[in-house]
Amino acid sequence: MSFASYVRKNSKRRFWTGTECPGQATAPPMDQNESSKREEAIPHRLPNPFNLRDLQAMLALCCHQGVPEGVLSDTGLKDYFMKLCGFKEKDFILANWQSMSIKEIKRIKRRVRDAHPWMVKYGLHRVMFPPGKKPLDSLETIEAIALEYRELTYIPQDVYRTAVGGVHVLRALDIGRVEIDDAPWYLGWACQAGLSADVIRELAGKCGGKWVPIDSWARCAAERGHIDVIDLLVVEFGFKVAHDSHRNSTNYSVFL
C-alpha cells in the first residue's frame, strides 16, 4: 500500500470541519489580549502539510498530475514540499540514498527509526511503524531500506512522523485499542496532527486521571500551525498561552 493510500484509508473522518467551536455552550469568551498573543505565537501556512487533510490533498495533487503513487524517485512531490512549504534538502532523509555508503547503515537505520512517532510505555521507548513495514533490523542494504521506507525520499521526516502518528491514533480509536497508559501519548499525536475536537475530547476522557503534559502538546500543535487545537486546549482544558515560549510560558500540565 502506498503512503497516500495509507493516509487516505485510515483518516476518512475526524478532521476539523471549520464549523466546530470548542466549548461553545459553556466556555467563557477568550481574553482579547490572550487571543492576540496566541495569534502571534502560531505560524500560518497554507496548505499545512502537518494537517492530515491538507497532506491528503497534496498527495492527491501529485497523483492527479500524472505522478504514480509509491515511486522511489518522486521528485515532483519533493519539489512541491520544498517550494511551497519551505522544507530543505536535509529534511528528506533518504532522498540521496544512492550516494550513501554501506558504512553508514547503522546511522541511516537510526535516522529512519527516529522519523517515526514514539511513546513510552512501562518505561520502554516504543516506536510506532505503519502496518506491514519490514523491521529495520531485517534490512541489510541501504537500497532495501530506501525501498521499504521510500516515503522518506520525498516526504519531510517531520511531516511523515506527524502523519503516521495521527493515523496510528485514528486506527487505535477505530478498533477500540487505547489503553489508559497510551492515551496521554495518543493525545499528543492527535494535537500534532491537527485531529478534530471530538478525537481530542475522546482521548482526554480516556486518560483516567493520568498526568498529561498539555504544555508540550500545545507547543507541538502551535509549531505545526493548528490554531483550532490551541483554541480547544485554552477554552476547555485551561492551557495558558504565552507569547515567548522560552521566557514567558509556564510549564502547565493537568490531570485529565
Tens-place pLDDT, residues 215-240: 788 888 888 989 888 888 888 776 66
* Tens-place pLDDT, residues 156-172: 999 999 999 999 999 99
Residue 249 has pLDDT above 50, yes or no: no
The mean pLDDT value of the chain amounts to 76
- Please name which of 156, 161, 164, 145 lies closest in space to residue 107, comparing C-alpha atoms: 145
Where are the alpha helices (H) located in 26-74, listed in sequence order? 32-41, 52-64
Distance CA 178, CA 231 (A): 25
Residue-level pLDDT at 250: 44
End-to-end CA distance of the chain: 37
Contact 217, 185 (CB under 8 A): no
Amino acid (1-letter code) at residue 36: S
Contact 4, 63 (CB under 8 A): yes
Residue 89 has pLDDT above 70, yes or no: yes
Distance CA 170, CA 10 (A): 7
This prediction has a pTM of 0.76
Sign of the dihedral through C-alpha 242, 243, 248, 251 = positive
Residue-level pLDDT at 31: 52
Residue 121 has pLDDT above 80, yes or no: no
* Tens-place pLDDT, residues 35-67: 454 444 444 445 788 988 888 877 776 654 454
Distance CA 245, CA 63 (A): 39
Which band of pLDDT confidence, cut at 50, 70 and 90, is reported for residue 113? Answer: very high
